[in-house]
Structures are given as structure tokens and as C-alpha cells.
Amino acid sequence: MDIRRALSHFSENRSRPIPPRDIIIDTDPGQDDAAAILLALASPEEINVLGITAVAGNVPLPLTSKNTRIVCELAGKVDVPVYAGCASPMTRDLVTAEHVHGKTGLDGPVLPDPIMPLQDTHAVDFIIETLRSRPTGTVALCPLGPLTNIATALKRAPDIAGHVQEIVLMGGAYFEVGNITPAAEFNIYVDPEAADIVFKSGIKITVMPLDVTHKVLVTPTRIKALRDTQTKVCSAMADMVDFFERFDTDKYGSNGAPLHDPCVTAYLIQPDLFTGRHINVEIETQSDLTLGMTVADWWGVTDRAPNAMFMGDVDAQGFFDLLTERLARL
């Protein structure tokens, strides 16, 4: 190809828009899950949500599958298929977090019960069928809760591991250590066996641990910015945060709630908001003392092979500017 044709080819490609990423969101709403789902649904240029799968976590499955649809209807996106998944961890009893999210899991705003139906297909079957039916490497999985649905799909259909483009998940902690026990973050703690399967799957993984999510605090100024948009969605989000922040402000004395889960969708939209290291991360599944701990080799002191991009820092104001601008679109 001569230089003129090469340059025209290059300039043509530069002008061609990058297509949105096809993703499946796996979630346990949860006010911060709601923020992540709303951010994804407000960003069709970057994200195409193929479906949302609910998992037991913050509250039991009947509530997480109901809350997922409440959030889709709040966003006015009733055409997004929602699937109910696993009602309990792979081998353990379910641990929930009503003390953080309230008894509904979405305490704060008064929102109507959903009208949109749940899909008949089980979430795990949807994950397997979607990955098998679409071109390899074109679908990203975005878990925001315990990894039960994802790990169950990998165990039932090991072939799908080669189909996944990337897993971008919220979970774990290193410098921040635990939020549900002294050693473990909630999503990993609830189903450590599931997390162990995912982190040993060989799939490209990007992790949003408490180390970054505890840096994206919804301060009073940021709540005001949400309310100042004077939109229904941002007002509901501010009401959710007003409730959700109590746990962290009481426990940590922090100046607002950490918005854990929207770090995942913000990364899909603007990855340069985050920095981290590609390191080895393994999951404690044996010790009662440190069950669910993400043993992150941040300092490279072992010869264990790196298996995850573990995020350590974030441009918090850039994150909130993005979140507020996008949610105001809905």
C-alpha cells in the first residue's frame, strides 16, 4: 500500500467511531449497584447492555431481581432483559447486608414496584448462551456482587472462559483490607469459592477493590451537584446515597458514601480515570479468620503469576463529573 493510501486508510479509521462494548452486568442492588447500572444505561456510545443478571448478595435474590428492574424502569430502559440467578453461594449460606442497604436493598427514595417482567431463562443459562452465541472476545462480564452466577456458569460450561473478552469486577481489597470482616470485602466474602474459580479462570480480569472505591466518596458537595441537575434520576440517586452513606460515615467517619460499583462502569467509559498494577491475586477459602481475603501481591514478593489488573488509585472528581453528567441525561 503506498503512503497516500496508507494515510487515507489511517485517517478513515481515526474518524470511524469505536463501537460500544457489549456487556452483561451481574448485580445485587444495592444503591451503589443502582448507580453503576444507571451509568451504563446512560452511556450507549460506550456500553451496550446485553442483559442484567441478578444474584443474591446485599439482599436475597427476590429483592435483587426486583431492584434491578426498579432501576431499569427508573432509567426508562424497560427493554433491557433482566434475569434471576443464584439464590445462594456455591457452598455456603448466604450472608446479606441489610445493615448497609436497608431491608429492601434500595432504601432511600420511594420508587414504584417494577412492571417489566423477569426473563424466564435462568441468569447462568443466559450468561452461557450469550457467550457461546456471540463472537469470541466480544462480550465483557461486569460483576458487581458475589461471583456466584459467574463461577457457576464457568463450572457448568468451562468452554466459555475462552469466549469472555474481559471481566471487570468490583470486589476485594488490599490496603483497605475488609469491610464485612477485618480481612475481607463483602462481594468476595459472601462466596469465596466462586471468587477462587473466577480468579483462577485465566480470563483477563480488572479489579475495582475498596482501595479505589473508598476514594470515590459522595461528599455533600457531590450530592448537591446531583440534586442541582434537577432530574428525576439524579434526585433518586441522591436519596439513595443519603441512606446508603450512614454505614460508612458511622464506621469510618468518612465524608460520604463510597460509590463502589459505578467504578466498574466508569472504567468501561473512561479507563484513564484509574491506575493500578497487574499482579497476582488469590482468594482465601480455608481460614475462618481471613475467609474471603484477596491476597494481592502488590509488592511482587512471590513468584505467583499475575492474573489481575488490581486498581489502586482513581481521579475521584473526574469520576463524579462523569457520573453526574451521564445520569443527568436519563
Residue 180 grid coordinates:
464485612
**Phi–psi pair at 25, nearest 5 degrees:** -95, 130
143 is an interface residue for Ca ion by CB under 5 A = no
Taking CB under 5 A as the criterion, which residues in 20-49 touch Ca ion? 28, 30, 33
C-alpha angle 119-123-124 in degrees, rounded to nearest 5: 145
CB within 8 Å of 189: residues ≥ 6 apart: 95, 178, 180, 181, 291, 292
CB of 170 to ligand RIB, least distance (A): 5
Per-position x/- string for 148-177, each x denoting binding to ligand RIB as judged by CB under 6 A, each - no binding: ----------------------x-------
Site size with Ca ion, rule: CB under 5 A: 6
User: By C-beta, is 30 or 109 nearer to Ca ion?
Assistant: 30
CA distance 84 to 69: 11
Is residue 9 part of the annotated active site? The answer reads no
Residue 59 grid coordinates:
439482599
187 is an interface residue for ligand RIB by CB under 6 A = yes
The residues pairing with 257 across neighbouring beta strands, listed in sequence order, are 218
Count Cβ atoms within 10 A of the Cβ of residue 91 and give its class: 0-12 exposed, 13-18 middle, 19 or more buried: exposed
Q: Which of 53, 64, 179, 294 binds ligand RIB (CB under 6 A)?
A: 179
User: By C-beta, is 101 or 163 nearer to ligand RIB?
Assistant: 101
User: By C-beta, is 69 or 260 nearer to ligand RIB?
Assistant: 260
192 is an interface residue for ligand RIB by CB under 6 A = no
User: By C-beta, is 58 or 68 nearer to ligand RIB?
Assistant: 58
102 is an interface residue for ligand RIB by CB under 6 A = no
Per-position x/- string for 37-66, each x denoting binding to ligand RIB as judged by CB under 6 A, each - no binding: --------------------xx--------
Taking CB under 6 A as the criterion, which residues in 112-151 touch ligand RIB? 144-145
CB within 8 Å of 27: residues ≥ 6 apart: 33, 36, 37, 52, 53, 54, 55, 64, 68, 143, 144, 145, 261
CB within 8 Å of 103: residues ≥ 6 apart: 59
**Catalytic machinery residues:** 260
Q: Which residues bind ligand RIB (CB under 6 A)?
A: 28, 30, 32-33, 57-58, 144-145, 170, 179, 185-187, 260-261
Q: Which residues bind Ca ion (CB under 5 A)?
A: 28, 30, 33, 144-145, 261
